[in-house]
Amino acid sequence: MATQYKFIYLNLFIISLLIGCGSVPEKTTMYSQSEFSVSAIDENSVLSSDRVKDKLYLQYAKWKGVRYKFGGSSRNGIDCSAFVQITFKKKLGIDLPRTTWLQSKLGTEISRAELEAGDLVFFRTGPTSRHVGIYLESNKFLHVSERKGVIISRLDNVYWNSNYWKSIRI
């Protein structure tokens, strides 16, 4: 019987590793597309790309180096989707769902050539795992690295370029 429990715990551990960033179970709140689209926001509150970029760099200065923690959502440790959710709420006044998967269902898909500050960039980092970051400028994006914590990386980096999935404008 103890062996059976060890097997179950081992499988749960392996599954949690495979799922990766942003896979914390969702709260019961359901989100609709219109709750997060720019059209649902007062047009006067939509920020210019430069203003968004400034706010994102301020967020980076505050969070730089905060370590990655699966399921984390504080300065004691944070994962990619929580960082995106907190950044959008605190800096842009936009509520986003908690997981990478739900965040990837929002907004309008755009090409890499159309990226502007504040757009979300998504990556497939494993068979079932996804990663999200926030585009800044000049091929740079803000995100939470599992090894380096909150950092700025480049989309044209070999790893990120080969794992790029899609971009979304909220």
pLDDT means per 10 residues, the chain with 170 residues, are 51 41 37 39 60 97 97 97 98 97 97 97 95 98 97 98 97
E strand or H helix that includes residue 104? none
Task: With respect to residue 54, please indicate whether it lies within any of the assigned structural domains.
Answer: yes
Number of domains within the chain = 1
pLDDT in tens, 53-88: 999 999 999 999 999 999 999 999 999 999 999 999
Query: Within 10 A of 91 (CB to CB), how many other CB atoms are there?
Result: 19
Q: Which residues are catalytic?
A: 80, 131, 143
- CATH code of 133's domain: 3.90.1720.10
Task: With respect to residue 95, please indicate whether it lies within any of the assigned structural domains.
Answer: yes
Q: Which residue range forms the structural domain that includes residue 120?
A: 2-25+35-169
Task: With respect to residue 91, please indicate whether it lies within any of the assigned structural domains.
Answer: yes
Task: With respect to residue 154, please indicate whether it lies within any of the assigned structural domains.
Answer: yes
pTM beyond 0.85: the answer is no
C-alpha–C-alpha distance, residues 77 and 72, integer Å = 5
Task: With respect to residue 162, please indicate whether it lies within any of the assigned structural domains.
Answer: yes
> 138: buried, middle or exposed (CB in 10 Å: 19+, 13-18, 0-12)?
exposed
Task: With respect to residue 70, please indicate whether it lies within any of the assigned structural domains.
Answer: yes
Task: With respect to residue 139, please indicate whether it lies within any of the assigned structural domains.
Answer: yes
C-alpha–C-alpha distance, residues 85 and 120, integer Å = 11
Query: Within 10 A of 110 (CB to CB), how many other CB atoms are there?
Result: 16
Task: With respect to residue 30, please indicate whether it lies within any of the assigned structural domains.
Answer: no
Query: Within 10 A of 67 (CB to CB), how many other CB atoms are there?
Result: 16
Asked if 90 and 30 touch (Cβ cutoff 8 Å), the reply is: no
Asked if 168 and 150 touch (Cβ cutoff 8 Å), the reply is: no
